[in-house]
Amino acid sequence: MTVHPEGWRKSSRSGQQSACVEVGRIPHGAAVRDTKDRGLGYVTADRKQWQAFLAAVKTGRFE
């Protein structure tokens, strides 16, 4: 089954920068792609994976 993400958006904190990632909605999760080359495709995460990723970002795990 092919997934077609909808509602692509980037963080409002990105401003006018072009070196960002965008997040799109998919059923039961999220998709992420690079704004510099959208044609390369995207990666997906199910809801549980996406929530774990967001929690890690919010707690500074990747800093």
- pLDDT tens by residue, 7-61: 999 877 777 777 788 999 999 999 999 988 889 999 999 999 999 999 999 999 9
Measured in degrees and rounded to the nearest 5, phi and psi for residue 8 equal -55, 140
Q: What gap in Å lies between CA 40 and CA 15, rounded to an integer? A: 23
Q: Positive or negative CA dihedral for 8, 12, 13, 16?
A: positive
| Number of neighbours of residue 55 by Cβ within 10 angstroms | 10
pTM summary value:
0.79
